[in-house]
Structure 1
Amino acid sequence: MHSLRFTAESSSNGVVERDFTVGDVPGVLWSPASRTDAGRAPLVLMGHGGGAHKKHPAMSGRAQRLVTGCGFHAAVIDAPGHGDRPRTARDEQEIAALREAQAAGEPEGPVVVPYNARLAELAVPEYRAALDALQELPEIGADGPVGYVGIALGTAIGVPLVAAEPRITAAVFGMMWPDALFEAARQITVPVEFALQWDNERIPREAGLALFDAFASKEKTLHANAGGHAAFPRFEADSATRFFARHLGGAVTATSPA
């Protein structure tokens, strides 16, 4: 079992940001600056999008909302071949195939779905190891509530993760093809919030609706927003914060732009 090692720390606007590694996997943990070790708080694991990384503005923006708005901790690790992790020759081949499909105006799903499924197969045990290590911190603890939020690649990794990990009790997903996720989605019974873009030129709305329908959760909410893939609205991050406040405990006191 790999232990967590902090490698850098900074603080601003009431949030402490700590870089860490678990084994050779890099991540970052955001926490309330005013919280002491004696005051535990829920943890929200996050998954970044394809081609992004653990400190992408979408990640730091969500973390800011969760920390300052709810007093939660938020953590994310770099997916395989992303951020500070080296790409393999296979990663390069998959990315080149995606660029070729995009340039030719061909459907991306046949390339992205198997690539993301491979990344998820690697990332799920890494997330579980990171969760093990993070729960050893006194300010988080082994018995505290845990949530997960991830869009696009974050959903491709998050759906099998949440299906396999009983410690995660609420999840936010969105914008991903369902092909490789149906089996895992049918195993998920925790509350789910799911967002899609109604006019998504990359992922057909029927695909997003099929994935939403597959979740076995008794409580699941669909957010369908007008616009294409890149028009995913920032206010969905505020909605996710309120969702976690309801299901993990806490009250939203503020939101901040990202």
Structure 2
Amino acid sequence: MEFTSETTANGVSELSFTVDDIPGVLWSPADATGNHPLVLLAHGGGQHKRAPGLVARAHRYVTACGFAVAAIDAPGHGDRPRTEQDEQFTAGIRARLSAGEPIGPQVATHNAALAAKAVPEWQATLDALQKAGHAGGPVGFWGLSLGTGIGVPLAAAEPRITAAVLGLAAAETLAEAAARVTVPVEFLLQWDDELVPRDSCLALFDAFASPEKTLHANPGRHLGVPAFELASSERFFTRHLGEGVTQPR
């Protein structure tokens, strides 16, 4: 792990890093000592580790809950090079959208291919953060859409993850991995999602083997997740990432 820059503002320390050429960022409480629970944030398709919504969520988890937060760019996103397959996928999706055709199956297949690369990258990042002394507490995961496409197989494979907020994804390529997830899950569904069929999203929720799982279904389209779900995720992670963290305000 190589740390490339550090800034501090409004009580939040921000460290940029790379792990095996994978660019990432770590946010944590400024001037704090000791280990903090760590939340891994996975961005959605077409976004990146510093997408405004992701940064705002990271700052909120740091300042309201006392967590450390890490994000990395998924393959072909952010500061990572795009392959010919990435370009072909994007062009194909635009063509299908222009023709009014469904894109869900194509997105699910592409996300599964990205997840096969991203899961070991997240594990390498977690290894490096722990070795560097930045992640000694319990670990949570948050990611929707592409983030869930990566997060479900990651939670199935990685025993250090103890709780996950997931959603906005279909069961077709994820149900098998979901059946191996036993940690608490908060799952988000948009009732009028134009990208992910409602029945398939519900089937994915049903596939989780978690004894504790909660479904949050809200009206609206794929990108219309209500802002109040941020506060809900704060309470969820505070409940499951151990004692001694700040109670959300």
Q: What is the TM-score when the length of structure 1 is the normalising length?
A: 0.93
Alpha-carbon distance in structure 2 between the residues aligned to 1:100 and 1:139: 44
Q: Which residue does the alignment assign to 1:6?
A: 3
In structure 2, distance between residues paired with 1:236 and 1:200: 16
Q: What is the match of residue 191 of structure 1?
A: 184
3-state DSSP class of the match of 2:216? strand
2:240 pairs with 1:247 = yes
What is the deviation of 1:12? 1.1
Runs ≥4 residues deviating over 4 A = none
Deviations along 1:31-81, one digit per CA (max 9) or x if unpaired, are 000312xx1111111100000000001211111111011111000110000
Paired with 1:212 and 1:86, the residues of 2 have a C-alpha distance of 33
Q: What secondary structure is seen at the aligned counterpart in 2 of 1:74?
A: strand
Aligned match of 2:109 in 105, 114, 117?
114
CA RMSD of aligned residues (A): 1.0
Alignment match, 1:83: 78
Which residue in 2 is equivalent to 1:176? 169
* Aligned length in residues: 247
State the alpha-carbon separation in 2 of the partners of residues 214 and 140 from structure 1: 30
Letter paired with 1:22:
V
Aligned equivalent of 2:143, options 136, 150, 153: 150
Match of 1:73 in 2: 68
Looking at structure 2, the residues matched to 91 and 69 of structure 1 have their Cα atoms a distance apart, in angstroms, of 37
Using the TM superposition, give the Cα deviation of residue 138 of structure 1 relative to its aligned residue in structure 2, in angstroms: 2.5
Fraction of identical pairs, as percent: 61
Shift of residue 139 of structure 1?
Answer: 4.1
Q: Equivalent of 1:236, from 212, 226, 229?
A: 229
* Separation (CA, whole Å) in 2 of partners of 1:176 and 1:182: 10
Contact 2:170/2:204 (8 A) holds in 1:
yes
Instruction: Check whether the contact 1:65–1:238 (CA below 8 A) recurs between aligned residues.
Output: no
Counterpart CA distance in 2 for 1:114 and 1:29 is: 30
The counterpart of 2:95, out of the listed 96, 100, 105, is 100
**Residues 1:60 and 2:45 are matched in the alignment:** no
**In 1, Cα distance between the equivalents of 2:248 and 2:203?**
35
Helix, strand or coil at the partner of 1:135: helix
Instruction: Assess if the C-alpha contact under 8 Å between 2:235 and 2:248 holds in 1.
Output: no
Shift of 1:213: 0.3
Map of 2:31 onto structure 1: 34
| Inter-partner Cα distance in structure 1 for 2:102 and 2:214 | 28
Letter aligned with residue 85 of structure 1: R
Q: Distance in 1 between matches of 2:125 and 2:107?
A: 25
SS at match of 2:28: strand
Secondary structure of 2:8's counterpart equals: strand
Letter in 2 for 1:215: F
Q: Could you tell me which runs of 5 or more consecutive residues in structure 1 were left unpaired when the two chains were aligned.
A: none
Contact 1:102/1:108, CA 8 A, preserved across alignment = yes
TM-score normalized with structure 2 length:
0.97
